Amino acid sequence: MEISRHHRLTSSEIHGLAEVLFDCVRGGASVGFMAPFALEQAESFFAKVASDVEAGRRAILVAKDGQGICGTVQLILDLPDNQPHRADLVKMLVHSRARRRGLGEALMRGAENLALDCRRTLLVLDAVTGGDAARLYARLGWTRVGDVPGFALYPDGRFCGTTYFYKDLAQGVSTPE
């Protein structure tokens, strides 16, 4: 398994990232998209991400295994002028074939280091309340701000709550146990 920062995404990488997003949404993850969700929609999303990455508006990590791209996470760097020290962590996605082996944790540690490389010391994210991701962030020392009930929808249309977290990297990044 290899995790690396990409400053530009090839069309085959856009396709591989889209397959990961498609797998996550098909599995019921609430990550911004509704069912029915087509692979083409996932490709359009990552084509836009690719232009943001090239323009420096986002930073992205890509994880690959023997079968290709299996995970990713992004930082949104394009924030208002009064938040130059901050980034939003978004689209933490691990393909179902690669889950529960520590890749999510490795991507989070990588994203924290990526933030420091981008001179961002305060990270904010949100996750489905009580979900797998929220448990991961709490385990890695992220501070839980609070819950917003009924904030978003699952792909099948049910409401889900959102929990906001932040991490002040001036207090240290997550390290392996």
Ligand X SMILES: CC(C)(COP(=O)(O)OP(=O)(O)OC[C@H]1O[C@@H](n2cnc3c(N)ncnc32)[C@H](O)[C@@H]1OP(=O)(O)O)[C@@H](O)C(=O)NCCC(=O)NCCS
By CB under 6 A, tell whether 31 contacts ligand X: yes
Is the separation of the CB atoms in 167 and 143 below 8 Å? yes
Place of tokens 């390290």: 175
By CB under 6 A, tell whether 114 contacts ligand X: no
Query: Of these, 54, 78, 117, 132, which contacts ligand X (CB under 6 A)?
Result: 132
Instruction: Residue 126: name the closest of 96, 171, 91 by CA.
Output: 91
By CB under 6 A, tell whether 24 contacts ligand X: yes
Instruction: Residue 70: name the closest of 109, 42, 44, 104 by CA.
Output: 104
Place of tokens 């240290």: 172
By CB under 6 A, tell whether 60 contacts ligand X: no
Alpha-carbon distance of 96 to 99, in angstroms, equals 5
The DSSP bridge pattern shows strands 2-6 and 86-94 to be unpaired
Number of residues engaging ligand X in binding (CB under 6 A)? 18
Residue placing its CB nearer to ligand X in the complex, 104 or 155? 104
Query: Of these, 127, 129, 142, 155, which contacts ligand X (CB under 6 A)?
Result: 127
> What are 95's two structure tokens?
């393909």
By CB under 6 A, tell whether 155 contacts ligand X: no
Residue nearest ligand X, CB atom distance: 104
CB of 82 to ligand X, least distance (A): 25
CB of 64 to ligand X, least distance (A): 14
Tell me the three-class secondary structure of 92-139, residue by residue: EEECHHHCCCCHHHHHHHHHHHHHHHCCCCEEEEEEECCCHHHHHHHH
Residue placing its CB nearer to ligand X in the complex, 20 or 77? 20
CB of 103 to ligand X, least distance (A): 4
The residues binding ligand X (CB under 6 A) are 24, 29, 31, 92-94, 99-105, 127, 132-133, 135-136
